[in-house]
Amino acid sequence: MEKFDTIPAVRQHVKRLKGLGKSIGLVPTMGALHRGHLELIRRSKKETEVTIVSIFVNPIQFNSPEDLANYPKNLRQDMQMLSEEGVDLVFIPDEQEMYPEAVSTEFDFGPIEQVLEGRFRPGHFNGVGIVVSKLFHILQPDRAYFGQKDLQQVTLIRKLVKDLSFPTSVVTVATVREESGLALSSRNLRLSEKGRKIAPLLYETLLFCKEELLKGQDWLSLKNEIIERKLRPASIEPDYLELVELSRFSLINSPIPHVPFAICIAAYIENIRLIDNIVISEKQN
């Protein structure tokens, strides 16, 4: 496994790979790797000739300095996992390498970014747009792999790729979960044992909402009841629990027949912010 931490060195290597006609798969991560990341890597290894994993905790996508400071880091274990997975190249730039000076370019993704994560984490998606654009320019992937767990992020990246004509196919990989249903996340590492026991309630809530919605329950009363009777009593403080119509990623108040939608949640458990979602497409209806 090759390891690069500077842009010129990795660019030169990528140029050589491109010259040999190799297809490149990119898995962008912020490290503290888990089985969710590995699923993206395995998919890339299946579909491309060279798999690159980037590890960079992107400061400009954090809207809370505390969240950035507390973001888990585990580089030694990450490197071991990546080498065991047979990853070809790891790109680990530091902040100075990625942002030698403050970035002044700004993305405005319009209405998509005014709901859910965009609404609760101002500036977050601008930071994501900047770092993904930079990684795409530096590493020139043919395919790039993102998790469905960050549904709004991957939706926005698809739009970015279309709007700016990046020659990269975006692949969405299904959310990997613990047996309890809890979506794997680097942030889970920060939960106490008690927090870990509570956290599966997020996914249970999504499944319960789905079941009730498909029975025809009114969404707004269902949502209020869940927040007041299930989540808050369990010390889960939601930022949002919303239905999103997938083609425009806009909020809806009830499912629309034959229109795919997602149920999305973000909530604090022990001051740690977790997100999850499930997609409900026609086939399941």
Residues that bind ligand AMP (CB under 6 A): 29-30, 36-37, 39-40, 146-147, 149-150, 173, 175-176, 183-186
Output 76-79 pairs: Cβ under 8 A, ≥24 positions apart: 77/33, 78/31, 78/32, 78/33, 79/1, 79/3
Angle formed at CA 129 by CA 255 and CA 156, multiple of 5 degrees = 20
Residue 243 bridge partners (DSSP): 252, 263
Tokens of 282: 């026609």
34 as an active site residue: the answer is no
Strand, helix or coil for residue 226: helix
What's the closest the beta carbon of residue 154 comes to ligand AMP, in angstroms? 7
CB burial readout 233-264, b (16+ within 10 A) else e: eeebebbbbbbbeeeebebeeebeeeebbbbb
What's the closest the beta carbon of residue 205 comes to ligand AMP, in angstroms? 17
Catalytic residue among 13, 37, 124, 258: 37
What's the closest the beta carbon of residue 225 comes to ligand AMP, in angstroms? 28
H or E element at residue 9: helix 7-19
Contact 15, 23 (CB under 8 A): no
Distances in Å between the Cα of 177 and the Cα atoms of 39, 55, 69, 147, 277 are 11, 22, 26, 12, 12
Instruction: Pick between residue 199 and residue 227 the one whose CB is nearest to ligand AMP.
Output: 199
Torsion, Cα 66 68 72 78, to 10 degrees, reads -170
What's the closest the beta carbon of residue 13 comes to ligand AMP, in angstroms? 22
Contact 254, 243 (CB under 8 A): yes
Tokens of 4: 């690069």
Instruction: Pick between residue 176 and residue 236 the one whose CB is nearest to ligand AMP.
Output: 176
Instruction: Pick between residue 117 and residue 150 the one whose CB is nearest to ligand AMP.
Output: 150
Instruction: Pick between residue 59 and residue 217 the one whose CB is nearest to ligand AMP.
Output: 59
What's the closest the beta carbon of residue 263 comes to ligand AMP, in angstroms? 17
What's the closest the beta carbon of residue 47 comes to ligand AMP, in angstroms? 15
DSSP state of 23: -
Distance CA 134, CA 158 (A): 15
Instruction: Pick between residue 224 and residue 268 the one whose CB is nearest to ligand AMP.
Output: 268
Instruction: Pick between residue 127 and residue 147 the one whose CB is nearest to ligand AMP.
Output: 147
Catalytic residues: 37
